[in-house]
A and B are shown apart, each in its own frame.
Chain A
């Protein structure tokens, strides 16, 4: 039975309660746990121990790639493959490439930000053990949930449950792994 447990889920009423519970869980030495909230809560990143998100770098990569790509494209098409004199202007120059390259850098950066976010969050995911829980639906409404994974080294169905109750968690339930 135990291998079919995904984790233990406890509800909190306010973001403040969640942060306090999170701090204590961290102090207790739990590592494989996750907080679920209806909106981002500042300070939670720190408690969870997250470093700067990689999304920014993915966006930078996308933007830089597109920028250089367009500069190359303009050089290739207007100065190399089919040079055409227009108004006596040079075949290739910085001012003429800057604007389209800058615009496409924005496109690349935006695409990178969205793709980076989706990929790092492992979305799209149409199945998640928590999405089968009726009570979990209140997370997108007004509840703040902590789930301690069954794969945590300190996880013990009874002790962890007692700890969550001591931290002020309500409606503590076992989440089954429905893989």
Chain B
């Protein structure tokens, strides 16, 4: 048994326990086992939990969602709670929230690739899928918030008989380009990452239908050295470009706010604030999805506790940065000496009708996040699941505080007014949540949910410089 001998040899060469890194995949299994394990879920029968989760998501996505959408488009923005002075309500709150959820996906899949974090291989695909689906949901909101959705094409530079051109001096226009680019690029990145895995599923396919579908998707991928050579280059270029997107998309959303003169919005910190907030919120969503799916899809050996621990740590780091920004925002509001700024920030916590959300922001984003310092909590999947859920709500509250909290009491008391979401606001939000989870569940069931080829390259069996990968003494 040469393999066992190799493992013994390996143990002697290994560094002391405290310096050892957690393995990417537990159990030190071979490449064949990994392939079986990683494609098992996509090939197995549809499990009961999947049907139970899919039914309400599909109902929300295919019944509630279109009803709320069509009613709003046919009737007008007035069906929502938006009205003077709160011209931006849940539609924009949810837009920012969905864009935010997307960001952690890109950060995990692109930035951690560039920094050569091998553990990202196991969760990268799930994160990318989260990005693609949540950007879809985000992009919908501005498109219908314009009121007359059939004039959306005005936002694109299409030559027309009216001589209308988009007005590029406004960050709202930049947003159109940013969100569309984000959707396109993250979809390309997601698809390209899956090409070698489509080939895996193609080669394993047992039925003609599966074989045909995956053959078409894999486009004739053979895995030759030449193909990998070009693929790797394209992948690193795409990662670099996606990393740029992490920093541009939400910062342009931030610019939408900070170029206005409204107290509470007019701050230079906004682009950074929105990027970090987005990443923090996305890590919260990642915790929810990972802790659930690793159990339900029986991937405990692949998505190890060590990986989730790292996601939780990243979540804590982005949470601490956002806490610093909260502090800075409040300090600058006081330091500016501007009475309106001071008014808005004072009333976020004491005073107006939205103080609840202000305190939720403190309770969750500042206080609850600190629980992630504790190792015991980072290793408890149930705790992380609930913390993730709360962070999502906390970040949603933050957007509520920023959007509605600033507009409802502006410079003139005669202008003040309250904002209440209507049933159509709520229905549309439930509908987007349903559509997101429906698409995510379809992805989990039918596509390679973990980057099979990337994981194989990150385990000792795939390393030509490791005894298990066939290395011999004195080089490979």
Determine the residue in chain B with the shortest Cβ distance to A78: B168
Q: Does A142 contact B (CB under 8 A)?
A: yes
Check A38–B248 contact: CB distance below 8 A: no
Residues of B with C-beta under 8 A to A3: none
Check A81–B163 contact: CB distance below 8 A: yes
Determine the residue in chain B with the shortest Cβ distance to A134: B203
What's the A-B contact tally at a CB cutoff of 8 Å?
230
Determine the residue in chain B with the shortest Cβ distance to A146: B225
Q: How far is the CA of A61 from the CA of B215 in the complex (A)?
A: 30
Check A34–B167 contact: CB distance below 8 A: no
Residues of B with C-beta under 8 A to A97: 168
Q: Determine, out of A24-32, A124-132, A150-158, A159-167, the stretch whose residues face the partner at the interface.
A: A124-132
Q: How far is the CA of A84 from the CA of B167 in the complex (A)?
A: 9
Q: How far is the CA of A141 from the CA of B231 in the complex (A)?
A: 18
Residues of B with C-beta under 8 A to A140: 35, 196, 199-200, 202-204, 223, 453
With contacts A84-B167, A110-B188 taken as known, whether A139 is within 8 angstroms of B223 at the C-beta atoms is yes
Q: How far is the CA of A51 from the CA of B73 in the complex (A)?
A: 55
Q: Determine, out of B144-152, B421-429, B434-442, B464-472, the stretch whose residues face the partner at the interface.
A: B464-472
Q: Does B192 contact A (CB under 8 A)?
A: yes
Q: Does B75 contact A (CB under 8 A)?
A: no
With contacts A13-B470, A78-B165, A111-B188 taken as known, whether A56 is within 8 angstroms of B196 at the C-beta atoms is no
Count chain A CB atoms within 10 A of each CB in B35, B222, B241, B453 and give the residue with the most. Answer: B222
Instruction: Give min CB distance, B142 to chain A, whole Å.
Output: 15
Check B252–A99 contact: CB distance below 8 A: yes
B residues 4-62 in Cβ contact with A at 8 Å:
30-32, 34-35
Q: Does A59 contact B (CB under 8 A)?
A: yes
Q: Does B420 contact A (CB under 8 A)?
A: no
Residues of B with C-beta under 8 A to A59: 234, 237, 241
Instruction: Give min CB distance, A150 to chain B, whole Å.
Output: 16
Q: Determine, out of B173-181, B298-306, B311-319, B375-383, the stretch whose residues face the partner at the interface.
A: B173-181
Q: Does A14 contact B (CB under 8 A)?
A: yes
Q: Does A35 contact B (CB under 8 A)?
A: yes
Q: How far is the CA of A82 from the CA of B160 in the complex (A)?
A: 12
Q: Does A74 contact B (CB under 8 A)?
A: yes
Instruction: Give min CB distance, B242 to chain A, whole Å.
Output: 8
Q: Which of B157, B173, B237 contacts A113 (CB 8 A)?
A: B237
Q: How far is the CA of A53 from the CA of B157 in the complex (A)?
A: 34
Q: Determine, out of B353-361, B395-403, B454-462, the stretch whose residues face the partner at the interface.
A: B454-462
Q: Does B463 contact A (CB under 8 A)?
A: yes
Q: What are some 7 contacts across the A-B interface (CB < 8 A)? A: A16-B471, A38-B223, A99-B178, A107-B181, A118-B219, A138-B203, A140-B196
Q: Which residues on B are within 8 Å of A, measured CB to CB?
A: 30-32, 34-35, 157, 163-171, 173-174, 177-178, 181, 184-185, 188-189, 191-192, 196, 199-200, 202-204, 215-216, 219-234, 237-238, 241-242, 244-245, 248, 252, 453-454, 456-457, 461-465, 468-472, 476
